[in-house]
Amino acid sequence: MARAPIIPAIRYRDAPAAIEFLCEAFGFVRHLVVPGEGDTIAHAQLRLGHGMIMVGSAREDEFGALNVGPAQAGGVTQSAYVVVEAIEAHYARAKAHGAEIVMDLEDQGGRGPLYVARDPEGHVWSFGSYDPWAGVE
């Protein structure tokens, strides 16, 4: 299996709830979850297809000082685009599990359908059928 060399890392105030949401609404699968002290997550790896994200609890450490969530930043400073094959089913799943749809499922011309959702802590996720890797060797 090909593995993506770029793995986004996201910190959440409530990482256990975020992991649950990401798995239920967006279809991520727990690859590794390392609990931290109390009700925190020291480190988690979630897979979706050939991609992966890393999730952890927000904390006050050197790396944490470099990261702020959308609420603290006054909005989103970046977002992830995720390629999914069955986009209509993915969209229905996200809606059924309470994802806030901020851009409805719509065809993007030659790039196929896409929708944009916000997770409970305000991170923005774009999901589409367009695969920019298609045809790349």
pLDDT at position 30 is: 98
**Tens digits of residue pLDDT in 57-72:** 999 888 888 887 888 8
Q: What is the 3-state secondary structure of the chain?
A: CCCCCCCCEEEECCHHHHHHHHHHHHCCEEEEEEECCCCCEEEEEEEECCEEEEEEECCCCCCHHHCCCHHHHCCCCCEEEEECCCHHHHHHHHHHCCCEEEEEEEECHHHCEEEEEECCCCCEEEEECCCCCCCCC
pLDDT at position 1 is: 59
pLDDT of 137 strictly over 70: no
